[in-house]
């Protein structure tokens, strides 16, 4: 297993659109496992491959406290969405920034699992939010893009300064 490097906003590679996975093979299973390890180490509840600079449609999510419910979503598709929920979101690619985003409260998603088999899942609340947040990453979208331009500019300045101080 390996820890992967997480890209930080405003890195332009976070805006690349990820390509569909042709087959869930050993390479993809290794990516899923490394993404899980990286997500747990960073204390996140989800991670998209885009965030580790792999531009393929792979997401991992685990909302459990004890890291026992790792779910991989390969080529995830939202089949249905409804309702509205506002939640204070954060992102491992936007460290230290939290702000309210409105999303669908319920989604029905189809994806391939780590075993390559298709599955469907109905999600509400935080799981629904997380699935939408991760699929946004695969489409090159970071949650701060839902905020005002002024907030986006302030976040960019703050994170660039942080990055500079970390060198």
> Among 14, 32, 60, 91, which residue interacts with Ni ion (rule: CB under 5 A)?
91
Only one of the segments 28-36, 111-119, 129-137, 157-165 lies at the binding site for ligand GNR (rule: CB under 6 A); that segment is 129-137
Only one of the segments 26-34, 66-74, 133-141, 151-159 lies at the binding site for ligand GNR (rule: CB under 6 A); that segment is 133-141
CB of residue 112 to Ni ion, shortest distance in Å: 21
- Using CB under 6 A as the binding rule, whether residue 10 contacts ligand GNR is answered as no
23: CB partners within 8 A, 6+ apart: 116
Q: How far is CA 51 from the centre of its chain?
A: 7
Query: Taking CB within 5 to 8 Å according to partner kind, which of ligand GNR, Ni ion, none is near residue 50?
Result: none
Only one of the segments 21-29, 69-77, 84-92, 154-162 lies at the binding site for ligand GNR (rule: CB under 6 A); that segment is 84-92
Q: How far is CA 18 from CA 85, 98, 135, in A?
A: 26, 25, 10
Distance between CA atoms of 62 and 49, rounded to whole angstroms?
15
The residue from 37, 56, 89, 134 that is catalytic is: 134
> Among 31, 49, 91, 131, which residue interacts with ligand GNR (rule: CB under 6 A)?
91
Query: Taking CB within 5 to 8 Å according to partner kind, which of Ni ion, ligand GNR, none is near residue 140?
Result: none
List own/partner pairs for 152-160 with CB under 8 A and 24 or more apart.
155/9, 155/94, 155/97, 156/9, 156/10, 158/96, 158/97, 159/8, 159/9, 159/10, 159/94, 159/95, 159/97, 160/10
Residues at the contact surface with ligand GNR, assessed by CB under 6 A: 44-48, 51, 87, 89-93, 129-130, 133-134, 137
């Amino acid at each position: 297993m390996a820890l992967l490097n997480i890209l930080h906003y405003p890195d332009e590679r976070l805006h690349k659109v990820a390509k569909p996975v042709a087959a869930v093979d050993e390479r993809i299973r290794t990516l899923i496992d490394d993404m899980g390890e990286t997500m747990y180490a960073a204390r996140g509840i989800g991670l998209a491959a885009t965030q580790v600079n792999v531009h393929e449609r792979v997401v991992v999510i685990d909302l459990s406290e004890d890291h026992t419910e790792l779910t991989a979503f390969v080529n995830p598709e939202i089949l249905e969405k409804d309702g509205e929920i506002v939640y204070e979101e954060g992102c491992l690619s936007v460290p230290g920034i939290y702000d309210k985003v409105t999303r669908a409260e319920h989604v029905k998603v189809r994806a391939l699992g780590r075993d390559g088999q298709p599955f469907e899942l109905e999600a509400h609340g935080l799981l629904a939010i997380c699935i939408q947040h991760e699929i946004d990453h695969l489409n090159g979208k970071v949650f701060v893009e839902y905020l005002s331009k002024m907030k986006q500019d302030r976040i960019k300045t703050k994170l660039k300064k942080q990055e500079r101080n970390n060198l």
